[in-house]
Amino acid sequence: MITSRRIERRVIDLYRQGIITGGCYTGIGNEATSVATAFPLAEHDVLVPTHRDMGSHVVRGHTPVQIMQQYLKRATGQTRGKDSSLHMGREGSNIVGMISHLAHMAPVAVGVALAERQLGRNSCVLTTVGDGATSLGDFHEALNFAAVQKLPVLFVIVNNQYAYSTPVSLQYACDKLSDRAAGYGMPGETVDGTDAVEVYDAARRAYTRGRRGEGPTLIESVTMRARGHSEHDDFKYVPSDLLEAWWRWDPIERFERYLEEHHVMTAEERRSVGEDVDHEIERAIDIARADPMPTPESGADGVYRYWEPRWTVPSGEDWELEP
Amino acid sequence: MSEATYIAAIREALVEEMERDARVFCIGEDIGHFGGAFKATEGLLEKFGRGRVVDTPIAEGLILGVAIGAAVRGLRPVAEMQFADFVACGFSQLAYNASTFHYRLGVSVPMVVRLPSGGHVGGGPFHSKNPEAWFTHTPGLKVVAPATPRDAKGLLLSAIRDPDPVIYLEQKYLYRREKDELEGVEAIPFGRASIAREGQHATVVTYANTVSMALAAAETLAARGYEIEVIDLRTLVPWDWETVVRSVDKTGRVLVVHEATRTSGFGGEIAATIADLAFDRLDAPVRRVAALDTPTPAEKQMESYVLPDADKIEAALTDLLLY
Ligand SMILES: Cc1ncc(C[n+]2csc(CCOP(=O)(O)OP(=O)(O)O)c2C)c(N)n1
Ligand SMILES: [Mg+2]
């Protein structure tokens, strides 16, 4: 959780300095959900994350160096400058890289689960959507079919109160988003998304069900988007008292208190871990900044896995019929 | 030896590939016991079981998204849209998700989308679409459009083996019209046009439904002493520009024909390429025969008025020959 938080704090700094450009979405406030839902996954399970899931990327092994290379659009980044931010997940990583179109990864996650079953691997799949993304048809289509097929998918709705500027009151009219689960014939529960332990327990129950062949689960994890939609957004539309009140529920502070109360980690140990993390992130930034930018021409590479040179239609400047 | 229709050729290719490669599976609406709206998958459920002939709810975005998810995990889905028209409901899964995976992340998406396309069947505005230009305008997708039972089989074999997403446009009008001997049909490489008829006075460049119409027009003109070359492109991305240009070099006159509507149709691309690569070999302007720029009307005579046919092709060729 602190790796996620601190990477994103630095991402914001670099964005403000103009070193990171483009959309700058963070999962600040969402760390407990993102980390604790991914934590119980087994190595062979598959993550289909979305745009505020820095936590689950970190849990699943993406390193600060890889993340910075990607955010800085370096030639060494996973998408080699062709895409940016958390759109990561190369072949063999058990992470399927997202596109921006909301809710579009939900059917893909179901397809992954179908394939895993067909391939004889008893893998669970974790995917997330925001409160806003639940309004798209793809979300409905995916939940319905996952339930029909009894596929081991955990759908996590990260209800962070806003979809860009749209508050949840304008997004849906049901009481809790987890109520929708009943309509699909799957269990649903709403958890406190700032409490890592509660989220973890709920996720583990979902994976246990999934592995037993009992099908998908819907978890609504209630949290707060602690920053603007993207860093360009001053989020003046969020009432300041709401935000202030929320910070008392900072998932990281809550988990630190938990560690303290249960004598898992002392303040001293936590500080030392924090220093190591900071150090690693600074090193990652240095490495990524020193890495080469992609060449402009590489923007035309890799559209297809298989393409023959003769298939490219030439321009008359480069090709001539024999006289 | 027995002869097979276009739809039987599709079925034969599906069965052969499913027998050859356990990763291949079919997914779509009503494709199981019912065998699909046009019976392309008849008997497949009984032969391969529910794991490999997956019936879905009515949800095109789901079907395409699930196919993507399965493909990125190493399966080889063949998704059926009940009619090409309904692919619009899941368009963004193809236009943004499937088409960009390899570009973004180097991840191969070996999936096929079968689209029962085209008019001349009284289908009206919602069951007659020739949607190829939507897809030829989307880098990352390959597009094929067979005109004969042999090509229907050979191109489907290649499409299933291809490591990229392939849009397979199949023609409802051709499903049961003509039969070919399928013995010995192998996978047909993409990007190789077939010269359906040789000639030296003018070239028709076409594909899919209008190939047989162009051949009929050529037959009529042959009686009047004109030898028309008819090129069946067979695949549109990639397309065999070189065969086209060499034919134009020989004949000096070219008519581009497709059943899809004219404006921004693929024919414009062919015409522009000819203008670029063979401008000085042309003895006449490049002409086009295509559907009028309207939705497809339901009533039979109105439909005939709007869509190309052999008579319209013959009239355009006559003009072109006299130019
Ligand atoms: C189909 C689609 N429409 C619009 C957008 C633009 N957009 C990006 S994020 C976003 C808000 C998403 O809200 P929510 O699902 O609650 O996720 P959050 O950002 O709050 O985590 C919007 C409207 C998009 N990416 N995709
Ligand atoms: Mg939200």
Give Cα separations from A57 to A64, A81, A87, B52 (angstroms). Answer: 10, 19, 10, 32
Any B CB within 8 A of A92 CB: no
Mutation to test the B interface, candidates A141, A145, A151, A315, most B Cβ within 10 Å: A141
Ligand nearest to the CA of A51: 1
B123-178 pLDDT, tens digit each: 999 999 999 999 999 999 999 999 999 999 999 999 999 999 999 999 999 999 99
Q: Taking CB atoms and an 8 Å cutoff, what residues of chain B touch A310?
A: 191, 242
Options 2.70.150.10, 3.40.50.920, 3.20.20.450, 3.90.1300.10; CATH of B194-321: 3.40.50.920
A141-160 pLDDT, tens digit each: 999 999 999 999 999 999 99
Rg (Cα) of chain A, in Å, rounded?
Answer: 21
Span A212-225, mean pLDDT?
Answer: 97
Atom of ligand 1 nearest to the CA of A133: 15
Helical spans, DSSP H, in chain A: 2-16, 31-38, 54-59, 64-71, 105-118, 137-148, 180-184, 196-211, 240-247, 251-261, 267-290
A171-205 pLDDT, tens digit each: 999 999 999 999 999 999 999 999 999 999 999 99
Burial classification of residue B224, based on how many CB atoms lie within 10 Å of its CB (0-12 exposed, 13-18 middle, 19 or more buried): exposed
Mean pLDDT of chain A: 97
Burial classification of residue B187, based on how many CB atoms lie within 10 Å of its CB (0-12 exposed, 13-18 middle, 19 or more buried): middle
> What is the pTM assigned to this prediction?
0.96
A49-89 pLDDT, tens digit each: 999 999 999 999 999 999 999 999 999 999 999 999 999 99
**Beta-sheet strand order (sheet of B76-80):** B53-55, B24-28, B76-80, B112-117, B166-171, B142-144, B235-237
- Residue spans of the domains in chain B: they are 4-180, 194-321
Cα–Cα distance for residue pair A265/A274, rounded to 1 Å = 12
Nearest-5° angle of CA A280, CA A73, CA A48? 80
Catalytic residue, chosen from B120, B127, B201, B258, is: B127
Span B295-313, mean pLDDT?
Answer: 97
The SS3 of residue B200 is: coil
Cβ A52 under 6 angstroms from ligand 1: yes
Cβ A64 under 6 angstroms from ligand 1: no
Contact by Cβ (8 Å): A52, A25? yes
| pLDDT of the residue at B294 | 98
CATH number at residue A28: 3.40.50.970
Mean pLDDT of chain B: 97
Domain span at residue A41 reads 2-320
Residue among A144, A306, A316 minimizing CB distance to B57: A144
- Which A residues 204-243 touch B at CB under 8 Å? none
CB-based contact B65 A104, cutoff 8 Å? yes
Residue of A nearest to B56 (CA): A145
Q: Taking CB atoms and an 8 Å cutoff, what residues of chain B touch A312?
A: 238
| pLDDT of the residue at B1 | 58
Catalytic residue, chosen from A237, A271, A283, A289, is: A237
CB atoms within 10 A of CB A263: 7
Cα–Cα distance for residue pair A315/B290, rounded to 1 Å = 25
Residue B8: pLDDT above 80?
A: yes
**ipTM of predicted complex:** 0.94
How many domains does chain A fold into?
1
| pLDDT of the residue at A237 | 97
The β-bridge relationship of strands B166-171 and A162-163 is unpaired
The arrangement of secondary structure in B4-180, i.e. its CATH architecture, is 3-Layer(aba) Sandwich (3.40)
Tell me whether domains B4-180 and B194-321 share a fold. yes
Give Cα separations from A162 to A172, A221, A250, B10, B308 (angstroms). Answer: 11, 13, 17, 48, 52
Q: Is residue B127 among the annotated active site residues? A: yes
Span A290-306, mean pLDDT?
Answer: 97
Residue B230: pLDDT above 70?
A: yes
Residue among A106, A118, A320 minimizing CB distance to B75: A118
